[in-house]
Structure 1
Amino acid sequence: MSREDLLARLLAQAEDGGGDFVTLRAIVEEASELGAARVLSRMGLDDDNAHDDVAELRELLRAWRDAKRSAWKAAIDWMVRGLLALLIFAIALRFGFGDLVR
């Protein structure tokens, strides 16, 4: 019996019996399972390799975040070095070491 058939039978049972708590809970659970299965199927994650695919995507996302963090850190590091070099150059000019720079 497929999930669709089971859900249809539960709905018919709820309609006939007035829908006690257990039947309604079973309807909600089966509808949730059916909806989740449809979403996974539409996303292409309903095969045996889906777990590996999601793990690989997470690893790729983690690597992207690490690379982005490293790029920002390197950019800030180079800006600080440039500002320090300008500061040293300005101090050298201020103290009259401009002739050494030329």
Structure 2
Amino acid sequence: MLAARRAHSGGRSTRVWSPHPRGKHAPVAPRDFDELLDRAAERGAERCLAHFGLESGSAAKDIRELRDLLEAWRDARRNAWQTTVKVITTGILAALLVGAAIKLKLMGGAQ
């Protein structure tokens, strides 16, 4: 935190401090720290993929298939809602037409 403030305020070269195994802090150059973070992130991503069974070479294909499946599910859900609204709207309009026909005695209702 202090190193970040110094870097922005004075433009001086700074060092990032990392924990040392004996409880002390050892200076680490920002470039080395970035490399360390990149390696840690890559290892974490590999572990995560392995946890979900996607560590093989076909992981990209599997993820694409999962995305396609999710997109198909969303399309099906949207179509189900659209169909439900159409059925309800058609039912209401049909009921209004039948009611109007009865009211106008077009269907041979009570005379």
- RMSD of the TM alignment (CA)? 2.4
Q: Unaligned 5+ residue runs, structure 2?
A: 1-18
Q: Which amino acid aligns with 2:95?
A: L
* Structure-2 change in CA distance of 1:84 and 1:16 (3 Å): closer
**Who is 2:44 aligned against?**
35
Provide, for residues 15-59 of structure 1, a one-character-per-residue CA deviation record: whole Å limited to 9, x for no partner: 896211111111111111111111111111110111111111111
User: Aligned pair 1:66/2:80, yes or no?
Assistant: no
Quick one: higher RCO (CA 8 Å, sep 6+), 1 or 2?
1
In structure 1, what is the Cα distance between the partners aligned to 2:25 and 2:104?
A: 97
How many residue pairs get aligned? The number is 89
Q: Unaligned 5+ residue runs, structure 1?
A: 1-10
- Residue number among 70, 78, 97 corresponding to 1:88 in the alignment: 97
User: Aligned pair 1:23/2:28, yes or no?
Assistant: no
**Who is 2:10 aligned against?**
none
Provide, for residues 39-87 of structure 1, a one-character-per-residue CA deviation record: whole Å limited to 9, x for no partner: 1111111101111111111111111111111111111111111101100
**Who is 2:108 aligned against?**
99
SS in 2 for 1:96: coil
Does the CA contact (< 8 Å) of 2:102 and 2:109 recur in 1? no
User: Aligned pair 1:50/2:59, yes or no?
Assistant: yes
In structure 2, what is the Cα distance between the partners aligned to 1:75 and 1:16?
A: 65
Tell me by how many angstroms 1:100 deviates.
Answer: 5.2
More helix by share: 1
Structure 1 length normalisation: TM-score? 0.75
